[in-house]
């Protein structure tokens, strides 16, 4: 026993030594500095000062700086016009030696928190860390970490918006991207349904130069017994199943014609049972269908399925699928092929009406029944056939609504119950608020000064001052200053801190409304607690932004004019 410990220690310290000397442990960074050319925002350090601090930090931490980049630009400059910034990003991504970007603080990285987060995540997945001298590095996978990361970045927008919680969730099926050359959807693994096979091809290279392979699903053209497998599938579906053949008859036909079954053995009744299931028939009609089964093999509710149009070449028409379903007498799923089906009388879509928008074209996302199930789809789709936007992404209604409500509940629960979470976040919010607004604690002082000057002049006038022209001029100037200071006070006044009691009451309201409320009340409640929801159609992600569960900040900052919900909505 006493022998093994030194050995372990030895091995471990050896590995660690090795690591720190190897490429993996070394940090090679590009340094990034930015100043704003906007007068009102110019509260940061100068470029040389930022770079000096970055160099000092790097030398203390043993980080090697590969190259320094800097830019003086307006914060309102268009993203793609930030030439130096893109040069820096390009270098970081293409130079395999670079594994970090060093910044003085995150607001130098990007003032737009949404973009910054996307970018940081993108960089992280490419193996590049963004290291800030003045912001803690967070574990992005923890709940608190997600919120903290969001908050820390939100400061850069503090001039126009207040601090809010962002969360981001993928729409699960990242296969909803279409191959630009063939037009079919990418396949994300597993075995395709019988009658199809997988075609793999090269689509560009990754940053280390390795080729990237993508797959699509194509009709299986392997020839058996004089026909291709896809032709056999077509025949079985169109000529047999749609004309009323039973599962046993289909099984016997395949076995008699020596058509190889998927797993190489005989065809079973159960094989045909599963091939004629609605999700399978949808696939034969050319739809991509994902998220059908849970891990335990049980089926999810249909509303949870992710369905994509034109995912692969159809083998059968929808009429055939309908005929098969009819003959199978699976009435419960019959309506999934009835395009006109709609029972929406009183908009059952909790997030419609402007809360949920398309990140590609900014249209409102609309509730839409498709094949009997509820989806949110970009408003460009039903009205303009997607003109001005692009390929439709159907976001399952139940999935999104659950996500938004669960996220809100999680946030409120944490805020209402965890003192440490609240105090940690509140102190962060305060710090962010101060640095983000460049909060001038002297604003109040200056305002008092201006006010007393105004009073003095008024008093002087009352006491018979006769230079009215001077007094008027001076007064109008002072009033102008006063207004400006007051507007600054608006921003720097109150950070929107989390209030535990308010969070608790919102939580009660949430449960009450969701359990008992009508759709109208539910919609109203969600509108008051959720700032906005954005779909990023190309990344298949939704970004949900919640209001901080605290006393509402002045509406000029919150940008909303949301009314605080009261109990018993």
Residues near Zn ion (CB under 5 A) are: 358, 360-361, 363, 378, 380, 389
Alpha carbon distance 79, 82 (integer Å): 6
Identify any residues that bridge with 170 across adjacent strands, giving them in sequence order.
541
* Residue with smaller CB distance to Zn ion, 396 or 565: 396
* Residue with smaller CB distance to Zn ion, 307 or 358: 358
Q: What is the smallest separation between the CB atom of 412 and Zn ion, expressed in angstroms? A: 31
Residue 167 tokens, joined: 């969360």
Q: What is the smallest separation between the CB atom of 376 and Zn ion, expressed in angstroms? A: 11
Q: Which of 196, 203, 207, 198 is nearest to 179 (CA)?
A: 203
351: burial class by Cβ within 10 Å (0-12, 13-18, 19+)? Answer: buried
Q: What is the smallest separation between the CB atom of 312 and Zn ion, expressed in angstroms? A: 24
CA 54 to chain centre: 31
* Residue with smaller CB distance to Zn ion, 98 or 395: 395
Dihedral, CA atoms, 47, 52, 58, 59, nearest 10 degrees?
160
* Residue with smaller CB distance to Zn ion, 361 or 431: 361
Per DSSP, the residues of 194-217 read TTEEEEEEEEEE-TTSPEEEEEEE
Q: What is the smallest separation between the CB atom of 365 and Zn ion, expressed in angstroms? A: 8
The helix, strand and coil proportions of the chain, stated in percent and rounded to the nearest 5, come to 50, 20, 35
Identify any residues that bridge with 64 across adjacent strands, giving them in sequence order.
28
Per DSSP, 71 falls in state: E
* Residue with smaller CB distance to Zn ion, 388 or 568: 388
Q: What is the smallest separation between the CB atom of 381 and Zn ion, expressed in angstroms? A: 8
Q: What is the smallest separation between the CB atom of 291 and Zn ion, expressed in angstroms? A: 22
C-alpha distance from residue 30 to each of 54, 69, 149, 328 (Å): 10, 7, 22, 64
Alpha carbon distance 156, 231 (integer Å): 59
Identify any residues that bridge with 33 across adjacent strands, giving them in sequence order.
70
Q: What is the smallest separation between the CB atom of 358 and Zn ion, expressed in angstroms? A: 3
Q: Name 452's Cβ contacts closer than 8 Å, sequence gap at least 6.
A: none
Identify any residues that bridge with 219 across adjacent strands, giving them in sequence order.
196
Q: Name 114's Cβ contacts closer than 8 Å, sequence gap at least 6.
A: 166, 534, 543
Q: What is the smallest separation between the CB atom of 356 and Zn ion, expressed in angstroms? A: 11
Alpha carbon distance 495, 429 (integer Å): 7
* Residue with smaller CB distance to Zn ion, 478 or 535: 535
Q: What is the smallest separation between the CB atom of 375 and Zn ion, expressed in angstroms? A: 14
* Residue with smaller CB distance to Zn ion, 75 or 358: 358
* Residue with smaller CB distance to Zn ion, 378 or 422: 378
* Residue with smaller CB distance to Zn ion, 478 or 542: 542
Q: What is the smallest separation between the CB atom of 120 and Zn ion, expressed in angstroms? A: 25
Alpha carbon distance 236, 233 (integer Å): 5
Q: What is the smallest separation between the CB atom of 353 and Zn ion, expressed in angstroms? A: 16
* Residue with smaller CB distance to Zn ion, 360 or 522: 360
CA gyration radius, the chain: 31
* Residue with smaller CB distance to Zn ion, 496 or 537: 537
Q: What is the smallest separation between the CB atom of 287 and Zn ion, expressed in angstroms? A: 21
C-alpha distance from residue 169 to each of 138, 163, 541, 551 (Å): 18, 20, 6, 27
Strands (E), 225-295: 227-228, 288-290
Alpha carbon distance 395, 374 (integer Å): 9
* Residue with smaller CB distance to Zn ion, 384 or 442: 384
Task: Give helix then strand counts, H and E, for the chain.
Answer: 19, 17
């Amino acid at each position: 026993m006493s022998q093994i410990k030194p050995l372990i220690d030895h091995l471990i310290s050896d590995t660690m030594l090795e690591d720190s000397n190897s490429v993996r442990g070394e940090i090679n960074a590009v340094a990034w500095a930015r100043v704003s050319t906007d007068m009102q925002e110019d509260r940061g350090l100068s470029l040389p000062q930022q770079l000096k601090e970055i160099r000092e930090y790097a030398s203390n931490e043993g980080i090697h700086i590969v190259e320094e980049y800097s830019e003086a630009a307006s914060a309102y400059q268009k993203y793609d016009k930030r030439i130096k910034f893109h040069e820096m990003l390009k270098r970081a991504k293409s130079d395999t030696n670079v594994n970090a970007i060093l910044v003085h603080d995150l607001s130098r990285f990007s003032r737009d928190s949404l973009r910054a987060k996307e970018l940081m995540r993108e960089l992280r997945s490419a193996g590049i860390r963004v290291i800030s001298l003045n912001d803690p590095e967070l574990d992005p996978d923890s709940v608190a970490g997600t919120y903290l990361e969001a908050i820390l970045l939100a400061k850069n927008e503090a001039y126009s918006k207040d601090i809010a919680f962002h969360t981001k969730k993928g729409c699960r099926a990242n296969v909803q991207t279409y191959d630009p050359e063939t037009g079919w959807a990418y396949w994300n693994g597993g075995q395709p349904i019988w009658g199809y096979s997988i075609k793999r091809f090269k689509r560009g290279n990754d940053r280390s130069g390795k080729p990237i392979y993508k797959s699509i699903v194509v009709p299986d053209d392997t020839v058996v017994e004089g026909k291709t497998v896809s032709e056999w599938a077509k025949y079985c579906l169109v000529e047999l199943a749609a004309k009323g053949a039973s599962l046993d008859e289909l099984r016997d036909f395949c076995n008699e014609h020596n058509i190889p079954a998927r797993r190489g053995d005989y065809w079973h009744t159960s094989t045909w049972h599963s091939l004629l299931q609605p999700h399978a028939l949808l696939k034969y009609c050319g739809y991509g269908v994902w998220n059908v089964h849970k891990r335990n093999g049980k089926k999810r509710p249909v509303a949870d399925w992710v369905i994509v149009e034109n995912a692969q070449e159809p083998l059968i028409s929808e009429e055939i699928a309908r005929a098969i379903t009819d003959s199978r007498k699976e009435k419960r799923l019959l309506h999934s092929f009835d395009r006109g089906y709609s029972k929406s009388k009183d908009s059952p879509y909790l997030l419609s009406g402007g809360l949920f928008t398309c990140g590609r074209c900014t249209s409102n996302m609309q509730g839409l029944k498709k094949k009997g199930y509820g989806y949110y789809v970009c408003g460009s789709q039903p009205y303009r056939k997607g003109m001005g936007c692009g390929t439709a992404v159907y976001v399952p209604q139940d999935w999104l609504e659950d996500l938004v409500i669960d996220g809100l509940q999680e946030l409120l629960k944490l805020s209402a119950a965890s003192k440490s979470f609240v105090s940690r976040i509140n102190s962060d919010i305060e710090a962010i608020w101060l640095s983000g607004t460049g909060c001038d604690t002297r604003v109040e002082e200056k305002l008092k000064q201006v006010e007393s000057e105004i009073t003095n002049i008024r008093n002087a006038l009352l006491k018979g001052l006769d230079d009215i022209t001077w007094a008027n001029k001076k007064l109008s100037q002072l009033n102008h200053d006063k207004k400006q200071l007051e507007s600054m006070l608006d921003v720097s006044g109150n950070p929107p801190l989390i209030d535990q009691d308010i969070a608790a009451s919102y939580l009660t309201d949430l449960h009450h409304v969701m359990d008992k409320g009508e759709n109208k009340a539910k919609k109203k409640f969600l509108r008051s607690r959720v700032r906005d929801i954005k779909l990023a159609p190309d990344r298949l992600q939704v970004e949900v932004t919640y209001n901080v569960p605290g006393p509402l900040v002045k509406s000029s900052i919150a940008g909303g004019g949301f009314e605080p919900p009261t109990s018993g909505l």
